Structure 1
Amino acid sequence: MTTELRMLRLSEWDKWYKGISRAFGGFEGEERELYRELTEIDRSLAVWDGDDVVGSAGLFSFRMTVPGGAVVPTAGVTMVHVAATHRRRGVLRALMRRQLDDIRAAGTEPLAVLTASEPTIYGRFGYGLAARQLDADIDTSRVRLHVPPESDAVRLRLVDDAASATATCEAVYEQRVTARPGMLRHGPGWERYPLLDPPGGRHGSTPLACVLAEGEDGEVRGYARYALKSEWDEHGVATGSVLLRDVEALDPAAYGALWRYLFGIDLKPVLRVRNRPVDDAWLHMIGDDVRLCRPRWRDALFARPVEVGAALAARTYSRPVDVVLEVVDEFCPWNTGRWHLAGDESGATCERTSDPADLALSVRELSAAYLGCTALRTLGHAGLVRELREGALGAASGAFVTDLAPWLPHGF
C-alpha cells in the first residue's frame, strides 16, 4: 500500500477527527466541537491511504512559561495517532519528521511539548519528561488542615454553573501564568478547555461547580472548580468524594480558604486531587498526615528544544553558569554539536562554539532538565550526562534548578 502525508484541508476535518476518535475511543459532543474550534488547520497533518486517514499529528500555537518567567512561543504537539492497520511502516516517524521540520522552518518556536498517552514512544524523537503532576486521595475525615489565620477574612461565594464564572477565573489564572515553569497562557478558546464536562464522563458526579475566594474589598483572589459524587456504604455511611478539577489563588489566605472549603464539604470524606504541582502548598498545610493523602506522581509534560541555542537562551538560571555542552540530537541533527551557555538570573546567551566541552549529553536529557524537572546531577549519577571537566556537572546542575517545580495545568 502507498500512503500520502500532507497538510489537512478544512473540508477534511470530520474524516481526520474520526480517525483520531477511533484511535483514542471517544471525544464526541462538547469536546469534539471545542477541538474543531481550536484545530489549527494549517498546522495539522494527515496520512492518507486512499480515502482513509491512517495517521495524524497537529500543533497548537502556545505560549509557555519557562524558568525566569518569560512566556515563550511553544509548539504544542497534539492529535497524534497511527491506525492499527498501518503500524510499523514508519508513519509516526514521518509525522514527527515533518512536524519538527515545519516548526523549525517557521522559526518562531524554540520549543515543542506534548502529553503522551504512551510515554515510551517519544524519547526516540528527543522528547524528555519535563514536568510531573501530583495526584492524591485525601481522607478529609482524618487529615488535619492548617491554613493561615488571614484565611478567616476571606469571603467564599458559590457559583453553581462554573461556566458563568469563566472570565473571573481566567483573570486569576492569567496572573498566575508566569509564576511557574510549564504553565500555558490561554489564547482564544482555551479558557473553555478546563471546563470540559461531558455528561458521559461524569460517572455519577454532579456538573462542575465553582467557589470564588474574595478579599475584604470584594476582589476575587482565587477559585476552585470541582464536582461532587455521593456514595454510601451498606451501613448507610457516607463515602462520597469531592472531585477537584482545578484551584488557583493569588495569595496564601485565599488559597487556604479554598482548601478549607474543599475539606469541609458535608458527606464527602474523600477529596480526590488530580494534576497538581508536585510541590503544591497544600502538602505543607496538613502537618505529618501525608500517608492519609495517598500522594502519587505521574508524567505530565514532555518537551524538546527545536533550536537548542534559542531554547537555552530563552530561560534564566538560578546561579551564574558558564558551560560548554556537547549535545547529541540524532532526530534533529542541526542541534548536534557544542554549545556555549552563559547566563544567570538576569538572562542568558547560548551560541555554537569550537571550545572543549564540559558536559556531554543527549537532547533527551537536556529536555528533562530544561524546565527544572530533573537535576543534571541526577542524570549524571544515572550515567546519562558525562562530566568532561571536573566540577562542571555540579555547577550546571545548580544553575538549571528552579525554586518551583514545573507544572502543566491541563492537557491539550
Structure 2
Amino acid sequence: MTTEVRVLDAADWDTWYATLERAFGGVAEPFEERALWRDLTEHERSLGVWEGAECVGTAGAFSFRIAVPGGAVVPAAGVTMVSVSATHRRRGLLTALMRRQLDDVRARGEALAVLTASEPAIYGRFGYGTGTLRTSFEIDSHRVRVDAPRGTDEVRLRYAPPADAAAACEAVYGRLVPRRPGLLERRPDSGWARLPLLDPVSERQGSSPLQCVLAERDGEVVGYARFHNKPGWDQAGPQGTVVLRDLEALDPAGYAALWRFLVSIDLTSTVVAHNRPVDDALQHLVSDLRRCRMQTRDGLHVRLVEVGAALQARAYRAPVDAVLEVSDAFCPWNEGRWRLTAAPGKAPLCERTADPADLALSVRELGAAYLGGRSLVSMAAAGWVGELRQGALGEVSSAFGSDPAPWLPHGF
C-alpha cells in the first residue's frame, strides 16, 4: 500500500498519539499528561503518515518564542512528537516528514526550528546541531554545604501550594527569559504554564506530591523551587532524596537561599537535579564540587531554516565582519556565501555575497553555535569548520559566544 503525509485532523488525534506512544515503548501515559499534550497539540502543525486507515508516522511542531543572544525573543518551531512505526522503518518516511515540516516552517516565516532528541544521532543529517547542553547534579548533602553570599539571610522562604504559587513562579520565570538564550517564553494563559505543575501519581516513584518553596524579600517573590521528597532509610538512619524539578531566582541571594534550603532538608542525604545550565552558579556555591557528581549531555538541537534572517535576529558579543560559506543539502536555499556584519549600536546584517569566504561550515555547525554555547573554535578542532582567512575563526567564534550559557529548562 502507498503512504500519504497529511495534516492531522482533530478527530484522528487518539489514533495519531497512540502511534507515537507505541514508538516510545507502548506504555500509555497518565491521563493528566495525555490530556495536557492533547490540549497543547497544534493540529494545523501536526503531520501523520497514513497507510490506508493506519497511522504509521507522526511529527508535530509548537509555535514557540525563544530567547536568543542579546535578549530578543524570536519565533521558532518546536519540533516534537516525531515517530515512525517499527514496521515501516527504512522507507524514507522520517525524511518525508522532515522535508514537509521544514518547508512548512519556512512558509510560516520562522527562521529557526528546535527540538529535543530521544536519539541525537538522527537529526544531524537534517541540519540540526546541538545548541545547548544540560548538567545534572547528584549532591551528597551530608557532606556538601552552600556558602551563601551576603544578603541571603534577608531572604524569607515559605512553603506554598504549587497551584496557588504558579502565577508568582511564572512571573519570576518570565523576567528571566530575556536574560538567558534558550529559554522559551511561557504565556501565563497558555497550556505551557501548566507543564511545570504536571504531577501524575503514577510518575512519582515513591516520592511526595510536588512541593513548592517561595523565596521572598520585602514581600516580593524573588525565586522559587519545586521539588519532590522521596523518603528512604537504611540501618544508619534516614537517607531521603530531594528530587528537584525546577529552581529559579532573580538575584544571587535568592538563588543561594533556595539551594541552601534544599541541601538541609531534614531526613535527606541527597539532592538530585536532572537539568541545570552548564554554567549554573551552584558550582561556585557548594563546598565540594566532587561530591556533586556532575554529568553533562545534549539539550536543545537548533536548525537555521533561513540563515540570513536567523543570523540577523540575534546580537553578537564582539564586532564581526566575515563571509560564511554555508552548506545545506537538505534546505538548499541556505547554500552559498553570507556576509555577516555586526557592530555595537547597529543591527546585525546578514546578506548574500560573492566575496571570498572566510569560514566554511555546514548549517549544522551554525545551529550548534547559534545560541552562543558551542564554540566554533572547538568545532574547527574537530574538523567541522574550515578557516579560509587567517584569524577569521577566532573573530567569528568570539562574536557568536554568549554569557550566560544557553539552556533549555524543560522538554516539549
What does 1:85-164 correspond to in 2, within 5 Å? 85-107=87-109, 109-159=110-160, 161-164=161-164
Could you tell me which runs of 5 or more consecutive residues in structure 1 were left unpaired when the two chains were aligned: none
- Determine the C-alpha separation between the residues in 2 that align with 1:401 and 1:250: 23
- Determine the C-alpha separation between the residues in 2 that align with 1:280 and 1:345: 28
What does 1:167-246 correspond to in 2, within 5 Å? 167-187=167-187, 188-215=190-217, 217-233=218-234, 235-246=235-246
Give the SS at the match of 2:244. Answer: strand
- Determine the C-alpha separation between the residues in 1 that align with 2:175 and 2:205: 33
Give the SS at the match of 1:355. Answer: coil
How far has the Cα of 1:26 moved from its partner? 3.2
How far has the Cα of 1:73 moved from its partner? 0.3
How far has the Cα of 1:171 moved from its partner? 0.6
- Residue-by-residue CA offset, 1:270-319 (whole Å, 9 max, x unaligned): 000111100001110014x1110000111111011000000000001100
How far has the Cα of 1:27 moved from its partner? 2.5
**Structure 1, 346-355 or 219-228: larger mean CA deviation:** 346-355
Would you say 1:274 and 2:252 are equivalent positions? no
Q: Kindly indicate whether the alpha-carbon contact (under 8 Å) linking 2:145 and 2:263 is maintained by their aligned counterparts in 1.
A: no
| Map of 2:312 onto structure 1 | 313
- Determine the C-alpha separation between the residues in 1 that align with 2:322 and 2:398: 12
**Structure 1, 220-229 or 345-354: larger mean CA deviation:** 345-354
Identical columns (%): 61
- Determine the C-alpha separation between the residues in 2 that align with 1:167 and 1:119: 34
- Determine the C-alpha separation between the residues in 2 that align with 1:290 and 1:255: 17
- Determine the C-alpha separation between the residues in 1 that align with 2:76 and 2:382: 29
Q: Kindly indicate whether the alpha-carbon contact (under 8 Å) linking 1:176 and 1:250 is maintained by their aligned counterparts in 2.
A: yes
Give the SS at the match of 1:89. Answer: coil
Give the SS at the match of 2:145. Answer: coil
- Determine the C-alpha separation between the residues in 1 that align with 2:344 and 2:19: 46
- Determine the C-alpha separation between the residues in 1 that align with 2:70 and 2:139: 33
- Determine the C-alpha separation between the residues in 2 that align with 1:382 and 1:140: 38
- Determine the C-alpha separation between the residues in 1 that align with 2:89 and 2:408: 30
**TM-score (ref. length: structure 2):** 0.97
How far has the Cα of 1:191 moved from its partner? 0.6
Give the SS at the match of 1:364. Answer: helix
| Map of 2:58 onto structure 1 | 56
| Map of 1:12 onto structure 2 | 12
Give the SS at the match of 2:194. Answer: helix
Give the SS at the match of 1:269. Answer: strand
- Determine the C-alpha separation between the residues in 1 that align with 2:290 and 2:236: 26
Give the SS at the match of 2:132. Answer: strand
- Residue-by-residue CA offset, 1:220-241 (whole Å, 9 max, x unaligned): 11100000000111x1511110
- Determine the C-alpha separation between the residues in 1 that align with 2:233 and 2:168: 35
Amino acid of the structure 2 residue aligned with 1:51: A
Q: Kindly indicate whether the alpha-carbon contact (under 8 Å) linking 2:369 and 2:376 is maintained by their aligned counterparts in 1.
A: yes
- Determine the C-alpha separation between the residues in 2 that align with 1:27 and 1:358: 50
| Map of 1:3 onto structure 2 | 3
- Determine the C-alpha separation between the residues in 2 that align with 1:294 and 1:97: 40
| Map of 2:343 onto structure 1 | 344
Q: Kindly indicate whether the alpha-carbon contact (under 8 Å) linking 1:147 and 1:253 is maintained by their aligned counterparts in 2.
A: yes
Q: Kindly indicate whether the alpha-carbon contact (under 8 Å) linking 1:316 and 1:345 is maintained by their aligned counterparts in 2.
A: no
Q: Kindly indicate whether the alpha-carbon contact (under 8 Å) linking 2:30 and 2:202 is maintained by their aligned counterparts in 1.
A: no
Q: Kindly indicate whether the alpha-carbon contact (under 8 Å) linking 1:316 and 1:344 is maintained by their aligned counterparts in 2.
A: no
| Map of 2:362 onto structure 1 | 362
Would you say 1:44 and 2:43 are equivalent positions? no
Q: CA RMSD in A?
A: 0.9
**Structure 1, 25-34 or 177-186: larger mean CA deviation:** 25-34
| Map of 2:298 onto structure 1 | 299
| Map of 1:409 onto structure 2 | 409
Number of equivalent positions: 407
Q: Kindly indicate whether the alpha-carbon contact (under 8 Å) linking 2:359 and 2:389 is maintained by their aligned counterparts in 1.
A: yes
Q: Kindly indicate whether the alpha-carbon contact (under 8 Å) linking 1:206 and 1:227 is maintained by their aligned counterparts in 2.
A: yes
How far has the Cα of 1:49 moved from its partner? 1.1
Q: Kindly indicate whether the alpha-carbon contact (under 8 Å) linking 2:145 and 2:260 is maintained by their aligned counterparts in 1.
A: no
Q: Kindly indicate whether the alpha-carbon contact (under 8 Å) linking 2:63 and 2:76 is maintained by their aligned counterparts in 1.
A: yes
Q: Kindly indicate whether the alpha-carbon contact (under 8 Å) linking 2:132 and 2:371 is maintained by their aligned counterparts in 1.
A: yes
Amino acid of the structure 2 residue aligned with 1:154: V
Q: Kindly indicate whether the alpha-carbon contact (under 8 Å) linking 1:318 and 1:344 is maintained by their aligned counterparts in 2.
A: no
Amino acid of the structure 2 residue aligned with 1:163: A
Would you say 1:324 and 2:326 are equivalent positions? no
How far has the Cα of 1:194 moved from its partner? 1.6
How far has the Cα of 1:263 moved from its partner? 1.0
- Determine the C-alpha separation between the residues in 1 that align with 2:344 and 2:240: 47
Could you tell me which runs of 5 or more consecutive residues in structure 2 were left unpaired when the two chains were aligned: none
How far has the Cα of 1:149 moved from its partner? 2.3
- Residue-by-residue CA offset, 1:119-172 (whole Å, 9 max, x unaligned): 00000000000001110100011012101120101111101x312211110011
How far has the Cα of 1:28 moved from its partner? 3.2
- Residue-by-residue CA offset, 1:214-257 (whole Å, 9 max, x unaligned): 10x20111100000000111x15111100000001111111111
- Determine the C-alpha separation between the residues in 1 that align with 2:403 and 2:378: 17
What does 1:252-263 correspond to in 2, within 5 Å? 252-263=252-263
